[in-house]
Amino acid sequence: MIAMGNYSVSIKSLYVVTIVILFGALTIGALFVAEDTGISRLGAVYIERSQEISNISNAVFGVYGMYRFYDTLFELLIFSTAVLGITIFSDLEPSPGSASRGLVESHVVSASASFLYPVIAVFGMYLAFSAHLGPGGGFAGGVIGGTGILLLALAKGAEETARKFREDSMKQLEYIVLFLALSVAILGALYPIKVYQDILGTGVITLVNISIAMKVFIGTWAILHFFVKHRGEV
């Protein structure tokens, strides 16, 4: 039975390797046969429209913040579902209680972390605030802020960092921010482009970006903190 099992497994992996290599060769062949048409028609339309709308100069933000805003919204919902799952599990399962073990005792790390964190936070906020004007965006800004907190946790210990940032009230803020994004989405469904251009101007764009950034920031930190808590120290 064991010999039989080994035999069937190796034949199966041979099939798998063959199929995957075939798939790769076919896809690459299709890639080289297809003619290069340059920019897609839809992309050209998006770029054309972002010339017309004066207060959005980043065409990528135009795509994910206006024309495909539902994509972004449901993406936020999926992300918050993942964070919710981790939070629920974190409440159910007590941490092993070895939280103060293995802290990095290096003066270079702690000194540079307290010096660098404000810079990182300001950079993340800048990316979130100016997403409609240049490169950046709410997601990038939020992730930069969250990983900056990870740096702080590396230097000062995760529990102390969580206490400093008042994690419990942050988690409530997360739902408020989600509600904000949802209400902007409903407004946008009622008055598609007008919301951005005429009625509320640039303020609502910044509001959307800031709410996305806050959501991603809190979610990233919640996930990182969970894994840090259940493994020990960073």
Binding window for another protein (CB under 8 A); candidates: 153-161, 177-185, 200-208, 218-226: 218-226
CA angle (216 as vertex; 213, 219 as ends), nearest 5: 145
* CB closer to another protein out of 87 and 161: 87
Query: Using CB under 8 A, which of 6, 11, 55, 82 touches another protein?
Result: 82
Task: Give the total of residues touching another protein (CB under 8 A).
Answer: 51
| Other beta carbons less than 10 A from residue 200's beta carbon | 15
What is the pattern of x (binds another protein, CB under 8 A) and - over residues 35-74?
-x-xxx-xx--xx--xx-----xxxx-xxx---x--xx--
22 is written with which tokens? Answer: 């075939």
Q: Which of residues 104-163 bind another protein (CB under 8 A)?
A: 133-135, 137, 139
| Other beta carbons less than 10 A from residue 181's beta carbon | 22
In a 13 Å sphere around the CA of 179, the CA atoms on its Cβ side amount to: 5
| Other beta carbons less than 10 A from residue 47's beta carbon | 13
In a 13 Å sphere around the CA of 3, the CA atoms on its Cβ side amount to: 0
Asked whether position 171 contacts another protein by CB under 8 A, the answer is no
Q: How far is the CB of 108 from another protein (least distance, A)?
A: 29
142 is written with which tokens? Answer: 């939020």
Contacts of 229 (CB under 8 A, 6+ apart): 90, 95, 99, 158, 159
* CB closer to another protein out of 75 and 110: 75
* CB closer to another protein out of 110 and 226: 226
The amino acid sitting at 222 is A
In whole angstroms, what is the distance from residue 165 CA to residue 168 CA? 9
Q: How far is the CB of 106 from another protein (least distance, A)?
A: 28
Task: Specify whether the CB–CB gap between 173 and 214 falls below 8 A.
Answer: yes
* CB closer to another protein out of 138 and 157: 138
End-to-end CA distance of the chain: 45
What is the pattern of x (binds another protein, CB under 8 A) and - over residues 15-34?
-xx--xx-xx--xx--xx--
Q: How far is the CB of 93 from another protein (least distance, A)?
A: 8
Q: How far is the CB of 155 from another protein (least distance, A)?
A: 23
Contacts of 50 (CB under 8 A, 6+ apart): 56, 57, 58, 59, 62
Footprint on this chain of another protein (rule: CB under 8 A): 13, 16-17, 20-21, 23-24, 27-28, 31-32, 36, 38-40, 42-43, 46-47, 50-51, 57-60, 62-64, 68, 71-72, 75, 78-79, 81-83, 85-86, 89, 133-135, 137, 139, 216, 220, 223, 226-227, 230
